């Protein structure tokens, strides 16, 4: 009887906003190995969980190695990155021999002295397992894809959807392709075409330009000889030479076909680049527009201070505009503002008590002035919740630290101790707020919340912030060439 194939699974995920101040230390990363990692992620829609589940479902022997992830934040400290890389490689080394390797990486990781941590990790993985062991990598579509990343892996698969609700499906596709390669059914050849495009964080939901690009991806992927076709939106909030959109196409042994398909999609995106420019609506305008909409609950999101893009999460621009609009008491809620100091003051005061707060605006010049106001403590919690089914990262547990629900000018405000975006109503429910009964639900997130609040009208506002949709406002020193929309001199042509 033929023994099952043995596949190693691991992950290292960090979306690095190089404009964020300071460095991300090792202690910011959640780390686990082996059975502990599998138990931690079991049943969730995390990409590492997806790879494990897909491999087991196909009868493979799975060696779960090491996984690490931190909330998007500043450049990773050099010592922290080297330790994370060591643990990942040690876990893989302990699992050898293996027939194949499955990795979940982000694609936009940056450490001190290492602009492309994914390329660096993959080169080390390839050196460890040798040229004959196939490697498949599942990425976040906001990766900045490099030639190095493509060269070191047999399969390069970004998720296709934003919110990233398709990690499970893409994990299955990655495992299937790897197994076909092991059976000798395919000989993967990958082509890359980079674009001089720095795109804002834009959803792939129907009606948005990326959805149309995905439709062409799907059509190309159905063509004879094509194994996979996808594109990376890139991560414009990293000032690195490889920042920008890119197309990747893998075929069965046909390099010319792979390049033609990658070029076709890249040219299609370039020719429609204006469709990817987002509308920019000031917070006060957004609040007025949301309040004027008929019917029930409206979601109002603040993209520029999105912790999911590496922003601090203590910006006050939208909350101030909401307070200035003076909505009826009890009709609006806001979440989540990162201010551990104010949380501690609320804990000291106690539930039901009032206190004077100086809320937010502490973590950088773009965050706005602190909001000075009287606040009543409505609830205190441990800040632990699990994303619900249907949401981005469904089943993943979050811990934002001690948290408080404060009532300020009749508005319920969730204040947390560690930065995190809102994915769905769960953090509001934790604090006794039923979002379905509110007129406005205001939150800090760019697009991941769309899965958890699907079906509701959405108004997006733009303000100053480290995850601003107005990417042309971010200073650049390291781009390899002029890029749109920073420069009208940006050019793209096929050889």
pLDDT digits (tens, 9 = 90+) for 239-296: 999 999 999 999 999 999 999 999 999 999 999 999 999 999 999 999 999 999 998 9
Q: Is residue 384 within 8 Å of 483, Cβ to Cβ?
A: no
Which residues face 371 on adjacent strands?
A: 359
> In whole angstroms, what is the distance from residue 478 CA to residue 460 CA?
30
- Average pLDDT of the segment spanning 463-474: 94
Residue-level pLDDT at 495: 86
Condensed to tens digits (0 to 9), the pLDDT of residues 155-206 reads 999 999 999 999 999 999 999 999 999 999 999 999 999 999 999 999 999 9
In 3-state terms, what secondary structure has residue 221?
A: helix
Condensed to tens digits (0 to 9), the pLDDT of residues 382-423 reads 999 999 999 999 999 999 999 999 999 999 999 999 999 999
For the beta carbon of residue 351, count every other beta carbon within 10 angstroms.
Answer: 13
The sign of the dihedral angle between the CA atoms of 436, 438, 443, 445 is positive
Superfamily of domain 6-276: Response regulator (3.40.50.2300)
* Whether the predicted model's global pTM rises above the 0.85 cut: yes
- Average pLDDT of the segment spanning 355-379: 98
> In whole angstroms, what is the distance from residue 137 CA to residue 265 CA?
21
> In whole angstroms, what is the distance from residue 481 CA to residue 197 CA?
10
Token duo for residue 292: 């004027």
Percent of the chain predicted with pLDDT > 90:
98
Crossing angle of helices 255-271/209-221, nearest 10°?
Answer: 160
Residue 103 dihedral angles phi and psi, to the nearest 5°:
-125, 145
> In whole angstroms, what is the distance from residue 169 CA to residue 155 CA?
15
In the chain, ranges of CATH 3.40.50.2300 domains:
6-276
Which residues face 231 on adjacent strands?
A: 247
Condensed to tens digits (0 to 9), the pLDDT of residues 302-313 reads 999 999 999 999
Condensed to tens digits (0 to 9), the pLDDT of residues 29-82 reads 999 999 999 999 999 999 999 999 999 999 999 999 999 999 999 999 999 999
Token duo for residue 323: 């307070």
Q: How confident is the model at residue 2 (pLDDT cuts 50, 70, 90)?
A: confident
Which residues face 337 on adjacent strands?
A: 415
Quickly list H helices, 315-386: 317-325, 340-349
- Average pLDDT of the segment spanning 96-118: 99
Residue-level pLDDT at 1: 65
Percent of the chain predicted with pLDDT > 70:
100
User: Do you find a cis peptide bond into 163, omega within 30 degrees of 0?
Assistant: yes
């Amino acid at each position: 009887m033929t023994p099952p194939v043995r596949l190693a699974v691991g992950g290292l995920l960090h979306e690095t906003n190089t404009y964020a101040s300071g460095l991300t230390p090792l202690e910011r990363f959640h780390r686990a190995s082996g059975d502990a990692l599998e138990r931690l992620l079991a049943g969730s829609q995390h990409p590492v969980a997806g790879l494990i589940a897909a491999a087991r479902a196909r009868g493979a022997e799975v060696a779960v190695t090491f996984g690490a992830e931190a909330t998007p934040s500043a450049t990773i400290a050099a010592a922290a990155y080297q330790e994370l890389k060591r643990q990942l490689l040690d876990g893989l080394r302990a699992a050898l021999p293996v027939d194949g390797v499955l990795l979940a990486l982000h694609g936009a990781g940056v450490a001190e002295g290492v602009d492309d941590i994914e390329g660096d990790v993959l080169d080390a993985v390839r050196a460890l397992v040798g040229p004959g062991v196939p490697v498949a990598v599942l990425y976040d579509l906001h990766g900045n894809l490099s030639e190095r990343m493509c060269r070191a892996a047999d399969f390069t698969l970004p998720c296709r959807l934003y919110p990233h609700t398709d990690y499970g499906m893409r994990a299955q596709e990655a495992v299937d392709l790897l197994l076909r390669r092991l059976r000798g059914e395919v000989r993967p050849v990958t082509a890359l075409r980079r674009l001089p495009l720095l795109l804002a964080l834009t959803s792939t939901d129907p009606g948005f330009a990326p959805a149309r690009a995905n439709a062409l991806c799907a059509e190309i992927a159905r063509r004879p000889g094509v194994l996979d076709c996808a594109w990376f939106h890139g991560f414009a909030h990293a000032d690195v030479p490889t920042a920008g959109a890119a197309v990747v196409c893998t075929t069965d042994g046909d390099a010319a076909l792979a390049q033609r398909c990658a070029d076709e999609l890249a040219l299609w995106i370039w020719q429609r680049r204006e469709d990817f420019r987002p509308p920019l609506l000031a917070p006060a305008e957004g609040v007025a527009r949301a309040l004027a909409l008929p019917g029930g609950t409206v979601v109002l999101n603040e993209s520029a201070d999105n912790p999911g893009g590496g922003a601090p999460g203590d910006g006050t621009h939208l909350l101030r505009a909401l307070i200035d609009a003076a909505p009826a008491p009890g009709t609006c809620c806001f979440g989540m503002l990162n201010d551990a100091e104010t949380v501690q003051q609320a804990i000291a005061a106690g539930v039901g008590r009032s206190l004077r707060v100086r809320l937010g605006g502490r973590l950088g010049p773009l965050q706005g002035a602190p909001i000075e106001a009287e606040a009543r403590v409505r609830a205190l919690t441990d800040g632990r919740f699990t994303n619900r089914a249907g949401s981005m990262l469904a089943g993943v547990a979050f811990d934002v630290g001690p948290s408080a629900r404060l009532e300020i000018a009749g508005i319920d405000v969730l204040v947390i101790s560690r930065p995190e975006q809102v994915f769905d109503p769960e953090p509001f429910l934790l604090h006794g707020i039923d979002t379905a009964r509110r007129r406005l639900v205001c939150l800090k997130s760019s697009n991941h919340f769309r899965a958890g609040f699907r079906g509701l009208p959405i108004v997006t506002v733009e303000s100053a912030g480290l995850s601003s949709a107005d990417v042309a406002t971010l200073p650049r020193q390291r781009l390899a060439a002029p890029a749109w929309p920073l420069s009208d001199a940006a050019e793209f042509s096929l050889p």
